[in-house]
Structure 1
Amino acid sequence: MTTTSTLDPTASGTANADLLPLLGGTPLARIRTALPHPHPGFWAKLECLGAGGMKARAAVSMLRGARLRGELRPGAPVIESTSGTLGIGLAFAGQALGHPVLLIGDRELEPAMRQLLRAHGADLYLVERPAVEGGWQAARLARLREVLARTPDAYWPDQYNNPDNAAGYASTATELTGQLDHLDVLVCSVGTGGHSAGLIGPLRRRWPALRVIGVDSVGSTIFGQPARTRLMRGLGSSIHPRNVAHGEFDEVHWVGPAAAVDACRRLARGSFVSGGWSTGAVALVSAWAARVEPGAIVATVFPDGPHRYLGTVYDDDFCRLHGLDTCDLPARPMEIPHPRAVEVTGWARCRAVGGPLTPRRARVPAPHSGDSA
């Protein structure tokens, strides 16, 4: 049964500007845990330690941008689709800037995340069935448009296609340039495309030779693979977000849920800091990049912490149910020549990167010292 809303669209939120100084300022951790193989180490920016998590930066940026353009009136409601992480960020931004927040989730949203979103004052709808085309994302967006049409003065940030999403991560880039003396390789999970698009430009201006690796989910259509039902949430997409800067990536990796779970659990045991699906995926690829390019400085972003995943990634029964505890984990990614050459089902790598609808003329970067691994 779909959860109903109690949001009063005429109610004006009360802004709490004291929250805004809590945004960002997250630490950088050195990760040396074998994932699963030894590596020289990489840097991870711990966004779980910032108020509202990583996507609070994007949420505040999108609402501020809309207010400046007159698209969002003072105290007007904000309505958005979310798989969880942006919802927390919008709950933070709504409190800080004085806007009630209504979120469209789905029945795959973890019970703990539902409770957390409501505890932070967000109102929540849940859709019960995925769309035939576009899956849960398309179903959430269809419901969002219905709710938007009957909610006076409501604003939809449209995180997938809003340039202010990427602009919100300028502060992350500034922090990284202050925390690192040099950077050779940046590893980014890709979902809406916001944080990768927001980081690449400023970091390449600081370090022009920077190589960027995108990390996608098996079953995601972002980089040209066919869309399939995905167990992993927080990265990947069944639609085509315009925020993804496809041409800025030097290569892309697809990671499956078993490898992400293994990396998350190893991080928790060996580095104490860990997270969910996106964190496990980028950690695996970052460790690989550090291993195959000796001496390279590698950095990534851990988007959130482990708490919302206690019933999935860190739950033995869940992992047994989905066969995540019996999979043979590869030592290195399988390399494919083009995103549409073969449908990948596990960790894979491609150096011909284009958009999901790009024909087979995508740019192939020059080889580097780690190409054989």
Structure 2
Amino acid sequence: MRPVTSTPRTANLHSANPRTSTLHAAAPAQGLPGLVGNTPVLHVSEPLAAAGRGFWAKLEGFNPGGIKDRPGLHMVERARARGDLRPGGRIIESTSGTLGLGLALAGMVHGHPVTLVTDPGLERSMTQLLTAYGARVNVVSEPHPTGGWQQARRDRVAQLLTRHSDSWCPDQYNNPDNTTAYTPLALELAAQLGHIDVLVCSVGTGGHSAGVSRVLRQLYPGLTLVGVDTVGSTIFGQPARPRLMRGLGSSIHPRNVAYDNFDEVHWVAPSEAVWTCRQLAASHYATGGWSVGAVALVAGWLARTLPADARIAAIFPDGPQRYLGTVYDDDYCAAHGLLESPPAPEPDVIGRLDEKEVTRWTRCGAVVDPLAVAEVPEDGKHETAAAAAVAGGTEEREEDR
């Protein structure tokens, strides 16, 4: 991890006070898009970190639908400006839920019908909400043999695009507008906190981790970016498995993931995220879903192990409402074995992304694109770039601690 230095702070008095959330009076919203952005930050400390330590959580659940209201609006606006999306054209996209809310909002603002392709794992309450917002929800019935539910959804999107003239797909996994949509979020964080040493982001499509880190690195060249994934996700070179957690992780390799930006990655298991979500709820009132629990677990550990003056920002993508039947439901959690003992105080450590299959909280300090393949060695076996990046990675970072 990049060493954290004691940098003069330029934050205002509110953001410099670790007991105060950064809340600024906002002007009245001008139409529906004015409801998006300018979300508050909250200092999170005990019990995830010791008294006097902690991290700053950017509460994106204060957007009407969550963090993906930002790319939902931005991708549609850019497509309309280029002429890719014609007036009245149908928006068709794959979603696990949150982007669907953003696209439903964008469709309402700009007058586009919206079809959202999802899978049986989407919460019934979310389906009902998307329908209430005017979206048409299309559910695939079988996962793709290798690409899982995500590839099955994308295949269905391709089919639907051929059936609707003037339709358009945002392609959130590969659309660069998905990353540039987060420039305002990065600038909000910079204004609220004044300086940031470490940024912690969940990773799904790769949009917000790439977009926010790109801007913040221009402001703070020494910024450390920590990615948070779920066990069973293939984004960072692990084998794809069926996953309970939605909103982070993937069974495909989104090209928006900025692998070169990451200093390390952590994988978190569902039970560990549930425990952290509930701790947040009981201690800070502000909590959220799977991504929030996973990010908070990692950010809390960083707050415990980095120098006390390190300023850590963590992005909480949503709030708790859609998870009342999963994360916050005792019967659901008991049925899935999620009410276990608290997470270990420290993550496991592996030296390369494909060293072993991880099943609990684990970190790796050698992050590369798993699709990048090194030259074939003399023994004829292909070696991933991850396997070639072992030397010095995690071991050096442990010394930096």
Code of the aligned partner of 1:326: E
1:97 correspondence with 2:101: no
Alignment of 1:291 with 2:311, yes or no, is no
Structure 1 residue 67 displacement after superposition: 1.2
CA distance in 2, matches of 1:294, 1:73: 52
Shift of 1:96: 1.4
Query: What is the match of residue 219 of structure 1?
Result: 232
Corresponding residue to 2:151 among 135, 138, 147: 138
TM-score where L is the length of structure 1: 0.92
Where structure 1 has 5 or more consecutive residues not aligned to the other structure, the ranges are 1-16
Equivalent-residue separation in structure 2 for 1:73 and 1:235 (angstroms): 31
Residue from 346, 364, 381 that aligns with 1:350: 364
Distance 2:396 2:51 in 1: 21
Instruction: State how 1:116-127 maps to structure 2 within 5 Å.
Output: 116-127=129-140
The one of 51, 54, 58 aligned to 2:67 = 54
Normalising by structure 2, what TM-score? Answer: 0.86
Name which of 328, 331, 334 aligns with 1:317.
331
In 2, Cα distance between equivalents of 1:236 and 1:327:
23
Query: Residue type matched to 2:44 in 1?
Result: I
**2:93 maps to what in 1?**
80
Cα 1:372–1:178 shift into 2, 3 Å: closer
Does residue 163 (structure 1) correspond to residue 176 (structure 2)? The answer is: yes
Match of 1:361 among 372, 385, 388: 388
Q: Tell me: CA distance 1:170–1:372, structure 2 relative to 1, closer, same or farther (3 Å).
A: closer
In structure 2, list runs of 5 or more residues that go unmatched. 1-29, 373-383
Report what 2:321 is aligned to: 307
User: Contact 2:230/2:249 (CA < 8 Å) preserved in 1?
Assistant: yes
Tell me if the contact between 2:207 and 2:256 (Cα under 8 Å) persists in the aligned partners.
yes
Aligned to 1:128: 141
1:245-275 deviation line (CA, Å, top 9, x unaligned): 0010000000000100000000011000000
Partner of 1:3: none
Superposed counterparts of 1:252-263, under 5 Å: 252-263=265-276
1:119 offset after TM fit, Å? 1.0
- Tell me: CA distance 1:321–1:38, structure 2 relative to 1, closer, same or farther (3 Å): farther
C-alpha distance in 2 between matches for 1:120 and 1:171? 25
Kept in 1: contact 2:70–2:182 (CA 8 A): yes
**Amino acid across the alignment from 1:349:** R
- Structure 1 partner of 2:294: 281
Aligned match for 2:54, one of 26, 30, 41: 41
Question: In structure 1, the residue corresponding to 2:238 is in which secondary structure?
Answer: coil
Is 2:278 aligned against 1:265?
A: yes
Query: Which secondary structure does the structure 1 equivalent of 2:388 belong to?
Result: coil
The equivalent of 1:335 in structure 2 is 349
Residue 39 and residue 337 in structure 1: after superposition, are their counterparts in 2 closer, same or farther (change >3 A)? farther
What is the aligned partner in structure 1 of residue 377 from structure 2? none
Inter-CA distance 350–146: structure 2 relative to 1 (3 Å threshold):
same
TM-aligned CA deviation for residue 30 of structure 1:
0.7
Using the TM superposition, give the Cα deviation of residue 366 of structure 1 relative to its aligned residue in structure 2, in angstroms.
8.2
Show CA shifts across 1:107-149 (max 9, x none): 1100011011111111100112211111110111111111111
Give SS of 1:202's match.
helix
Cα drift, residue 51 of structure 1? 2.4
**How far is the alpha carbon of 1:357 from its aligned partner?**
2.2
Q: How many angstroms does 1:316 deviate by?
A: 0.4
Deviations 1:18-65 (A, max 9, x none): 211112110011111313877711000111101232101111111111
Where in structure 2 are the equivalents of 1:57-72 lying within 5 Å? Answer: 57-72=70-85
**Are the counterparts in 2 of residues 36 and 263 from structure 1 also a CA contact under 8 Å?**
no
Structure 1 residue 221: Cα displacement: 0.4
Write the letter of the residue equivalent to 1:159. Q
Give the aligned residue type for 1:145.
Answer: A
Between stretches 17-26 and 30-39, larger displacement belongs to 30-39
Rounded Cα–Cα distance in structure 2 between residues aligned with 1:310 and 1:336: 34
**Shift of residue 348 of structure 1?**
0.2
- TM-aligned CA deviation for residue 75 of structure 1: 1.5
SS class of match (1:104): strand
The equivalent residue for 2:6 is none
Partner SS for 1:263: helix
